[in-house]
Every structure is written in structure tokens, then in C-alpha cells.
Amino acid sequence: MRKKEDLKKKDVIFQAKPDAIPYNYRISYKVSIICLMMYICCGRKGCSLIKLHLLGAALSNKRYERQLIKYLSSSIASDLIVRFDPTVNRALEYAIADEMIGIQANGSYKLLEKGRNLVKAIMSDKELLSTEKAVLEVISKKLTDDKIKKITEEWRYQDATN
């Protein structure tokens, strides 16, 4: 991950492109979604990178969303894997550089005041990101560190042989 100072030093230039960029790849959308995920699903203690990727995958893929919700209800994660999305990492870099998100000593991410203010503005508009808010409310705080550990352990050793 790039250092916060490096991101601040470089000028970000927005130029019109001949092709439209899908909304889910726009940095403003991803930063907003990550702040929203942290606000609804992570609480004050912070959020691991794996949790952010799990939540991001659930928001971008209906099938994955159903699998994750089913796992949270039954604790059977046989076909659930962690899907790593580079746009989540990139959005985290921008959110950190913009001081919306901070990194704690234990390596987890924490929503800062600027990020909380963004989320409050998003939450005050009932129509804005309504689908994403609904999914995150269903998942809420049910995706605990223990459940994430179980997912990653099953995923890592699923195809391992002695």
C-alpha cells in the first residue's frame, strides 16, 4: 500500500474519457461504499481488510451476497471464498490519504470523523445507495472475526491434501 504522503503529493487530475466508467469502478463510489461498510458492519473497533473484501464482494455480486447471508445464518461456508478486488484496495488508499479512514496499530481500518460525516450524509438520503444500505443492514455486525477466520480456514485448506 502506498504511503499517505505519496498520495497527497501527487495531483489527481480528472479528465473526460471517451468511454464511460461503470459506477462500481468510480473512486467516489468505492470510497463511499467502504465508509458505509465500516459504519454499518464494523463498529468502533475497526475492520480487517478481509472483511472489507467479503462485504465488497457481497455488494457487487448477488450470488455471493446470498452465499454470505446463508453462511451467516448457518455457519456452513463450504463454497464461500474470499474474493479480493483491487478497487477496494485502491479506494482504501484514497480514503486514507483523504483522512476518511485511518489504520490502527493492529492493522485494522477505522472510520475517522471525515468518513463518519460522509456516511451521515449518505444515511440521511433514503434513496442514495439504498440497495447497498439494505444489504449491509442484513449483514450488519453478524460477520464477526470468528466467522471470517472460519471462512479463511475452510478456504485455505479446502483443496489441501496430506
- Give bridge partners of residue 47 from the DSSP assignment: 109
pTM of the model: 0.82
**Across 57-66, 78-87, 148-157, which has the greatest mean pLDDT?**
57-66
- Give dist(CA 162, CA 146) in Å, integer: 25
| Model pLDDT, residue 143 | 92
Over residues 147-161, the mean pLDDT reads 72
Dihedral of alpha carbons 110, 101, 138, 79, sign: negative
Which DSSP category does 23 fall into?
A: G
Binned at pLDDT 50, 70 and 90, residue 79 comes out as: confident
Write out pLDDT tens, residues 112-144: 999 999 999 999 999 999 999 999 999 998 999
